[in-house]
Chain A
Amino acid sequence: MATNREALNQQLQQIVNSLKEQGILDNQFGIVHSLKEYNSPFFLAEMIPMFSQNVQTILRDLTRTLEKEPVNYYDLEEYCIKLKGCTSSIGARRMALACVTLRQAVDNKNKDGCDSALNGMRHEYQNLQSSLDIILELERRIVSHQA
Chain B
Amino acid sequence: MGFGKATSSSKAMKIIDTEKKISVLIVEDDPLIQKIHKVMMAKFGTEVQVVANGKEVVDLYRSGASFDLILMDFEMPIMDGFEATKELRSMGVTSMIVGVTSRSQDSEIQAFMKSGLNACYVKPLNAEKVTAVLNELKNN
Contact = CB atoms under 8 A, between A and B. Distances in A.
B43 A90 contact: no
B103 A31 contact: no
Interface residues of A, number: 24
B16 interface: no
Interface stretch (A8-16, A62-70, A77-85, A136-144): A77-85
Nearest to A28: B124
Interface stretch (B6-14, B32-40, B51-59, B109-117): B32-40
Interface residues of B, number: 20
Contacts of B101: 85
Interface string A81-98: 110111011110000000
A43 B39 contact: yes
Interface string A32-55: 100101110001001100110010
Contact of A31 (B35, B123, B127): B127
Contacts of A86: 30, 32-33
Given A38-B39, A38-B42, A88-B102, A47 B75 contact: no
Interface in B16-47: 30-33, 35-36, 39-40, 42-43
Contacts of A35: 36, 39-40, 43
A82 B39 CA distance: 20
Contact of A81 (B32, B36, B75, B127): B75
Contacts of A90: 32, 36
Given A35-B40, A43-B39, A54 B75 contact: no
B107 to A, nearest CB: 12
Contact of B32 (A39, A47, A78, A91): A47
B125 interface: yes
A31 B36 CA distance: 10
A32 B30 contact: no
Contact of B102 (A47, A85, A91): A85
Contacts of B124: 28, 31, 88-89, 91
B43 to A, nearest CB: 4
The 6 closest A-B pairs by CB, nearest first: A85-B102, A38-B43, A39-B39, A84-B102, A35-B39, A89-B124
